[in-house]
Structure 1
Amino acid sequence: MKKLLPAVVVIALGVVGLNAADPATIIKTKCQACHGANMEKAALGKSKIVNTLDSAKIKKDLMGYKAGTLNQYGLGATMWGQIKPLSEADIDALAKYIPTLKK
């Protein structure tokens, strides 16, 4: 039994790693410089204000940027680099969280 314990811990830690990151942290590190802390700004004065979009639109757009197929407002290259490292779980968490930031 003692020999199995380290393997179980490693497997459990691996599963925890699959969870989405905290969307507030993702926004702070990847989004707020252009979109604002509450996603209330038009990035570089060009984009829509993200917190006014619904979850489905946010997810669709983020998935398009992740795939490198979306280039709205000429900001594709910037967004591709920001979104590429995010997991689908991260994107789903962002899509659900961002609309809650409306004031």
Structure 2
Amino acid sequence: MKKTLLILSLMLTYNTALMANGKALYKNCAGCHGDHGKTKALHLSKAIAGQSSAKTIEQLIAYKRGELNLYGLGNIMKMQAATLSKSDIKALATFISTLK
């Protein structure tokens, strides 16, 4: 029982930290995607609010590698994703998935 509570407590702490980091990282995205992810970046992209974290992770990794060019925004997104670590991408994707 104590082990279960400890594990649940650690998971909650991890998820809270992940969300806080994702929210902080998202400030760099809000200029194009809006505060709530509902803005079409440069009037071209789809809104990202509520997009699954798996899809966001996949896209950010592909942008970072220069392998994705959705809506002709590949170069812009490559520059935006260039400095994101794997943990940053996960945190950002988790936060974006919660936007409504």
| Alignment partner, residue 53 of structure 2 | 55
Tell me if 1:72 matches 2:70.
yes
- Name the larger-Rg structure: 1
TM-score when normalising by structure 1: 0.74
State percent identity of aligned pairs: 43
| Alignment partner, residue 31 of structure 1 | 29
TM-score when normalising by structure 2: 0.76
Structure 1 residue corresponding to 2:87, chosen from 71, 80, 89: 89
**Structure 2 unaligned blocks of 5 or more:** 1-16
Residue 89 of structure 1 and its aligned partner are, at CA, apart by 0.5
2 CA distance for matches of 1:101 and 1:32? 12
Number of equivalent positions: 83
Runs of 4+ residues deviating >3 angstroms = none
Aligned CA-pair RMSD = 1.7
Residue 96 of structure 1 and its aligned partner are, at CA, apart by 1.1
Q: Which has the higher contact order (CA 8 A, sep 6+)?
A: 2
2 CA distance for matches of 1:85 and 1:35? 18
**Structure 1 unaligned blocks of 5 or more:** 1-18
